Every structure is written in structure tokens, then in C-alpha cells.
Amino acid sequence: MYFTDIPGLEETKNKLRKSIVENKIAHAQLFYGKEGCAKLPLSIAYARYLNCEKREKTDSCGHCMSCLKYDKLSHPDLHFVFPTVKKSSTKISISDNDVLRWREEVTANPYITIEEWIETYGSENKTGKKGMIYKDEAVSIVEKTRLKNYESKYRVFLIWLPELMNLDASNKLLKIIEEPPSGTVFLFVSKQPEELIATVSSRLQKIKIRNFYLEEIKWFFKDYEKKELNINYLVNLTKGNVGKIKKIINDKTEHLAFFDSFSSWMRLAYKMNVLDLTNWVNSIAQTGRNNQKLFLEYAIKMIRECVLVNFTDPSLARVSEKEKQFVLNFSPFVHEKNSISIFEELEGAYKSIGRNANPKIIFFDLSLKIGKCLKVKRKFAQNK
């Protein structure tokens, strides 16, 4: 991770570089900002620049010994601390146990969310723990600071999501954060700095990282736009969270992105909430015909699932867990008196979009028609 891997944020980058060049390096700093902002990649780029042996004006050189190790995030003077899940297989719970996986995940996606990180524990996390920085971690940090730096001028402790540090760990770190040995720099990277205990927070120099602007987000995904993947739609859906967009693209789970949009659409249509429906229609209208057609295909698929649950096959083997819950709740509203009309309306809209009709008019009209269909009562009570 280099400064140039991150679009925009020039002011922040300049400030960070200047502090290094002028040798005004705070020994404990807090990079903070919302989920999906560049706080983690920027703090890594900063640490790299700090230790680069042939710094250039705007970025690290990329070929000194330090940079080569930073390429793999495996520099011996770069210590990562992050929330972990307590496992029965290991006696102490520290990040070092999981650091290989961490390097891999962060290299692939430095905008990773905590949920995505904890998901990587898979079956090791049997009880569904949410991740924490335990006291063992603080003990390990203090021990490491007693040793000399391996090879570089600065040793960096990069602590991701310190708000998930338990109180014991926080207290244990207080002294070392206040007076670390020379050549030791703590970089705290937080999305909820207000959750840090005040005695820790007050010792940190704060650097706020703003959210990306739309054009900056598009810069990340410029190659995908050529492949007709609708970035505007994903930006809307994720509220501009770069990490989530990357994940959706990597997992090829655009259909999951459709799920959120579809489920809220059905709710709004049923309630005939015209104002919110208009907003929804405006956002889908911006996403391009190809995407709108895919969305309608998805809607047809979901309505079909509701019909199947009601009449033939309640197994729901073809949908994800998230979709399953929705289908179970929604299927009573789709029945013998209205399902055919709903299919006809969706298919009609699909054809109209293909014929270049105005998507705003099509989707608005469709929403009202489906809302009306959903209000139709069943002839017989469900005999379940």
C-alpha cells in the first residue's frame, strides 16, 4: 500500500508526509473515519513511508529493503494488532496467531470490514463471537517494546479497531502509549473513536480521514465499468463503502446487492409510500438498463420462490439464508389471486425497459401496480 493507491485526500497525505520529512512524528496517532474510508490503507502507506530508505517526494521508493518487506506486510518492525476470536486451540489470544491470514486479507482488501474479518475465522468461531482485542495482546505489545527494533529506525504498532480493546488491555497499554521507547510509533486506526476510553484517546494525535467522493470511488473500479458492472448502483447501495463494493465484486454476489433493494421495494410498494417509492425509483432509474433488467429478473425469481413456498416446495433450497427469511415472511402476500398479475407486471416492465421506455415511469407505474396486487386478499385462509 502506497499513498498513490489511494485516490484524493491530498491534504491529509501532504500533512502526513510533511510530518515525516520534518521529523515531527507523534509517537501515538489516531487515524479515524467511517467504515469504507481510507484509514487503514493510509496508515499502512504512512508506516511504509516512515521506514522507506529512499523516500521520494510523494511516496515510498518501492524497491528498498524496507519497501520490499512492506509489500508483503511482513516487515519485522511492523506489528499488527486487530480483533481476534478466542480459540480453544491456542492458550493466549493475540493477533500474531492469525497474522498470516490477516496479511492475506488486508493485501486483498485494505478496506475490509470487521464483519468480513471475523467471517474469515469460519468454523473456528463456533459461538459467533464478534472479535475483541484481549489483555494478552497488551501483554505481548509491552514485551515487544522491551526488545530493540530489528532493523529499522521506527517500529510501528498498527492497532486496527482499538475500540474493540477490552478495558484490561487498554489500561495495560496506557503507560507505554504515553512514553514509548524511542523509535516506537503507535498508529491507532478506528471507526468509532468515541468508544475509546478517554485516558487512551487523550494521548493520541488525531487525524480525521474523510469519506471518499463519488469520483474517487469510481477511480477504484474504473476497469469494472467497462464490463457493464454498475458502479453507481453499488455506490448507492453501500453508501460509498469501498470495501463492501470490492467484496460484492469479488464474491460475484451482485444478486445479494439486489436483495436489499428488492426487499425494501416490496415493503414500500405494499405501504404505498409514495415519497420513499419515488426515491427508490430515482435510484434504480440511475443504474442503467442492463442493471434494471437484471434486477427485474431477480424480482421474478424471488416472487417465484414465494409461490413455490406456498404451493409446492417449501424447502427453499435455491436461496441464501438472508433471502430465505424474507421469502418466508413475504410469501403469504403472494398467492393464487395475485401471483399471475405480479408476474405479468414484472415481465411487462422487463420488456418495456428493453424497448428503451423511460425507466422512471416504468418503475413507478410498476410499483403502484404491484402495491395494488399485494393488497388483494386470499380467497381461502391458508391451511397450514
Which residues contact Zn ion (rule: CB under 5 A)?
A: 52, 60-61, 64, 67
Q: In the complex with Zn ion, which residue's Cβ is closer, 16 or 284?
A: 16
Q: Tell the smallest beta-carbon distance from residue 75 to Zn ion (Å).
A: 11
Q: In the complex with Zn ion, which residue's Cβ is closer, 64 or 197?
A: 64
Give the residue carrying C-alpha cell 514509548.
Answer: 180
For 59-88, the DSSP string reads S--S-SHHHHHHHTT--TTEEEE--B---T
Do residues 374 and 270 lie in contact, with contact meaning Cβ atoms separated by under 8 Å? yes
Q: In the complex with Zn ion, which residue's Cβ is closer, 5 or 297?
A: 5
Q: In the complex with Zn ion, which residue's Cβ is closer, 6 or 266?
A: 6
Q: In the complex with Zn ion, which residue's Cβ is closer, 62 or 288?
A: 62
Q: In the complex with Zn ion, which residue's Cβ is closer, 20 or 374?
A: 20
Q: In the complex with Zn ion, which residue's Cβ is closer, 51 or 241?
A: 51
Q: In the complex with Zn ion, which residue's Cβ is closer, 61 or 174?
A: 61
CA atoms of 248 and 153, how far apart (whole Å): 39
Greatest Cα pair distance in the chain: 79
Q: Tell the smallest beta-carbon distance from residue 46 to Zn ion (Å).
A: 13
Q: Tell the smallest beta-carbon distance from residue 73 to Zn ion (Å).
A: 14
Handedness of CA 298, 303, 308, 314 (dihedral sign): positive
Strands (E), 113-198: 155-160, 184-190
For 300-368, the DSSP string reads HHHHHHHHHHHHT-TT-TTS-HHHHHHHHHHGGGS-TTTHHHHHHHHHHHHHHHHTT--HHHHHHHHHH
Strands (E), 191-319: 205-208
Q: Tell the smallest beta-carbon distance from residue 2 to Zn ion (Å).
A: 10
Q: Tell the smallest beta-carbon distance from residue 68 to Zn ion (Å).
A: 8
**Residue 206 φ/ψ, nearest 5 degrees:** -100, 135
Burial of 169 (0-12, 13-18, 19+ CB in 10 A): buried
CA atoms of 212 and 209, how far apart (whole Å): 9
What is the number of other CB atoms lying within 10 angstroms of the CB of residue 309? 20
**Given strand 205-208, what is the order of strands in its sheet?**
78-81, 155-160, 184-190, 28-32, 205-208
Q: Tell the smallest beta-carbon distance from residue 99 to Zn ion (Å).
A: 22
Q: Tell the smallest beta-carbon distance from residue 52 to Zn ion (Å).
A: 3
Q: Tell the smallest beta-carbon distance from residue 45 to Zn ion (Å).
A: 12
Burial 180-207 (b: 16+ CB within 10 A, else e): beebbbbbbbbbebeebeeebbebbeeb
Q: In the complex with Zn ion, which residue's Cβ is closer, 47 or 303?
A: 47
CA atoms of 328 and 348, how far apart (whole Å): 26
Q: Tell the smallest beta-carbon distance from residue 193 to Zn ion (Å).
A: 30
Q: Tell the smallest beta-carbon distance from residue 67 to Zn ion (Å).
A: 3
Q: In the complex with Zn ion, which residue's Cβ is closer, 17 or 203?
A: 17
